[in-house]
Amino acid sequence: MARAAGQRIRFASPLPLVLFAMFGLSVLGVSQARADFRVCNATQNLVGVGIGYRAKAGWVTEGWWHIEGSTCKTLIEGPLSSRFYYLYAEDAERGGRWDGPINMCVAEKEFKIAGINDCFARGYQRAGFQEYDTGEQTSWMVQLTDEPATDGEAAVTGQTNP
């Protein structure tokens, strides 16, 4: 059973907690959960991914991360600092895409672009990004799939990392 981020496990008595604290961390090799924004490619094809977010200095879009089929990549390392993140992805082999209604700037090659307005006038392309409300979680994962969503939305799911 998966736990939501921030949910605590309750023990019936303090003894298991003490035993876990004394022996569990060293014997089991338990490490802290990673905080980051990850994208997993559940397809068999190479996918190019761009991300958008609000930074202290304003809107930023970055890309391209190339994610092989059946693998994951971390796009933002460390605890997330924004509540909303925006994702756009293209299937490099079949030409499909995962997109949304929020227009942001992208480039043909690797990019980090400040601002989301006047993309064409500044020499960039415009793409529709899908918004993800992380609920201010410190970690988030999006999975790209081949299956279309039943409600017509992009076939992308978001969830907190376990």
CA angle 62, 67, 70 (to 5 degrees): 145
The confidence band for 99, taking pLDDT boundaries of 50, 70 and 90, is very high
User: Does 137 fall in a domain?
Assistant: yes
User: Does 84 fall in a domain?
Assistant: yes
User: Does 22 fall in a domain?
Assistant: no
Give the whole-number percent of the chain exceeding pLDDT 70: 70
pLDDT given at position 1: 38
* Total tally of structural domains belonging to the chain: 1
CATH number, domain with residue 41: 2.60.40
Q: Give the pair of three-digit tokens for residue 49.
A: 């991914």
Backbone angles phi and psi of 20, in degrees to 5: -65, -45
pLDDT given at position 146: 87
| Average pLDDT score over the chain | 78
Instruction: State which residues form the domain around 75.
Output: 34-159
User: Does 44 fall in a domain?
Assistant: yes
pLDDT in tens, 117-154: 999 999 999 999 999 999 989 999 999 998 754 443 44
CA gap 104, 123 in Å, rounded? 13
User: Does 25 fall in a domain?
Assistant: no
User: Does 1 fall in a domain?
Assistant: no
pLDDT in tens, 56-81: 989 999 999 999 999 999 999 999 98
User: Does 2 fall in a domain?
Assistant: no
Q: What is the largest CA-CA distance in the chain?
A: 65
The confidence band for 95, taking pLDDT boundaries of 50, 70 and 90, is confident
User: Does 47 fall in a domain?
Assistant: yes
Q: Give the pair of three-digit tokens for residue 124.
A: 């960039």
Q: Give the pair of three-digit tokens for residue 59.
A: 């809107």
